Every structure is written in C-alpha cells, then in structure tokens.
C-alpha cells in the first residue's frame, strides 16, 4: 500500500523535475554544470523515498579534471550517489538512455557523453574523444566501471574504459563509494541511511596501457573495502 501511494505521489514529481530540467538545459544546452545542477536536484528527492542520505566530499578538493568512478547498484543511484557529483562533471552512459521518456532527454541535454556499448570499436573511439574533451574543456568525467548494475550482490569486476580514459588524459581517478542499497523498497516507509563517500584521488602518472588493469584491480579493492565499512556504519545509524 505504501508503494502504491508513493508511486502516485512520486511519478508526477519526477516527471515535473525532468520536464523543468529539460527546459533549464534548453536555456544553456550541454553546459558544463548542467549535470551538477540536475544530479544535485535529484538527490534532494531521497527523503521522499524514505532515504536519509549522507554525502561526504573531502574539504578543499581541487576543481580540476578527474575521472570519478562509482559503484553501480540499482535505480536508487539516481537519487543517492548523484549527490556527490561536483561542478564541471559529466557522465558517460549508454546511448540507449536517450530514448527513456523524460529522463533520457534530460540526460542528453545535460551534456553527458553517450556511447554505443554494443560497438566496441566506436566505444574505444569515444574513450579517446572523451579524454581529449576532458583536456580541452577542463571537464571531469563520471563513470560506473562495473558497466551494469550489480543489484546489491557485491561489486562486479571493473571494466577498463574509465581507467584508459584517465591514463590517456593524465588525470587522477577519484573513487566514490555508496553503501549497499539493495534492501531499499518502495513499500518501506523508512529505508534508513545511505552514505556516499568520495575517497582520495589515485594518481595515474605511473600507469599506461600495459598496466591499466592493475589500476582497475586496485581501485576495485579499496572501493570494496570502503563499502564494507560504510555498510557497518549504516547498520549502526539505523539502530539509533
């Protein structure tokens, strides 16, 4: 019953946010800060889903180009880990997202980079173009290196696209870890806490194409360890 009333309430709100977001983006299409504004707005919807969101971004973080990598769990990512998106950041997503009603158009107009994952040669070309665009426009990129949602079953092995991009652009990798949200349900009035935490940058200067897989494995390791700690913290917060 809670899920029914929540859907009745939230669907119009989400559509309204997407429509207003599209109008905002039409005023300044593909602007470097569109994604920052839209992602921040979407994260403000978390309480409507019964989620108490905590976002931790290190003080004094430099606003220089980086590749942010996040763990990709489920649809709730849109209103949780999105709160950690910084200014001058765009994401890389599936080209097919463009055809999702309302959200797809908003995603495209926000200036995010869309790739054809079914065409590996085109995808590699997009990596090269993305690295060039980062340097030219001083943009940061947000990617989910798992490539698909893990649905709370633990982080999947990382694909290397994000790491190739960082190495080619000579920028740092910045992991962003979200606590496990697989227990969240629309029919739960209180879904409890979710914590999104940005970790320290990882330099890519000692890496190249020959050892980029090592960078991916190392990033996966520290992100998995951090998620375990965040899950324990969430467990304690939910008890209080």
- The predicted pLDDT at position 124 comes to 67
- The predicted pLDDT at position 194 comes to 98
Q: Contact 180/229 with Cβ under 8 angstroms? A: no
- The predicted pLDDT at position 120 comes to 63
3-state secondary structure of 20: helix
* Average pLDDT of adjacent 10-residue blocks, the chain of 240 residues: 81 90 94 95 95 93 90 95 96 84 90 76 72 89 90 89 94 97 92 97 94 97 98 96
CA dihedral 179, 183, 187, 193 (to 10 degrees): -30
3-state secondary structure of 89: strand
Q: Contact 71/146 with Cβ under 8 angstroms? A: yes
- The predicted pLDDT at position 119 comes to 63
SS3 for 129-197, per residue? HHHHHHHHHCCEEEECCCCCCCCCCCCCCCCCHHHHHHHHHCCEEEEEEECCCCCCCCCCCCCEEEEEE
Using the structure block, give the residue that is written with the tokens 């349900």.
Answer: 185
HSE-up of 236 (CA within 13 Å, CB side)?
5
Total Cβ atoms within 10 A of residue 24: 18
């Amino acid at each position: 019953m809670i899920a029914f009333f929540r859907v009745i309430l939230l669907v119009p709100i989400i559509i309204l946010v997407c429509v207003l977001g599209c109008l905002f983006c039409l005023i300044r299409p593909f602007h470097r800060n569109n994604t920052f504004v839209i992602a921040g707005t979407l994260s403000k919807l978390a309480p409507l889903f019964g989620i108490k969101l905590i976002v931790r971004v290190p003080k004094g973080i430099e606003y220089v180009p980086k590749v942010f990598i996040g763990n990709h769990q489920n649809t709730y990512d849109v209103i949780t880990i999105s709160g950690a998106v910084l200014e001058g950041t765009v994401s890389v997503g599936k080209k097919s997202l463009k055809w999702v009603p309302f959200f797809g158009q908003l995603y495209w107009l926000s200036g995010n980079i869309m790739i054809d994952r079914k065409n590996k040669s085109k995808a590699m070309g997009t990596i090269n173009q993305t690295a060039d665009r980062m340097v030219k426009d001083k943009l940061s990129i947000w990617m989910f290196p798992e490539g698909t949602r893990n649905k709370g079953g633990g982080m999947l092995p990382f694909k290397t696209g994000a790491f190739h991009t960082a190495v080619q652009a000579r920028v740092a990798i910045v992991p962003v870890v979200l606590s496990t949200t697989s227990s969240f349900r629309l029919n739960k009035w209180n879904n409890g806490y979710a914590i999104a935490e940005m970790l320290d940058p990882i330099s890519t200067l000692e890496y190249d194409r020959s050892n980029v897989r090592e960078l991916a494995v190392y990033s996966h390791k520290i992100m998995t360890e951090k998620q375990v700690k965040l899950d324990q913290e969430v467990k304690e917060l939910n008890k209080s």
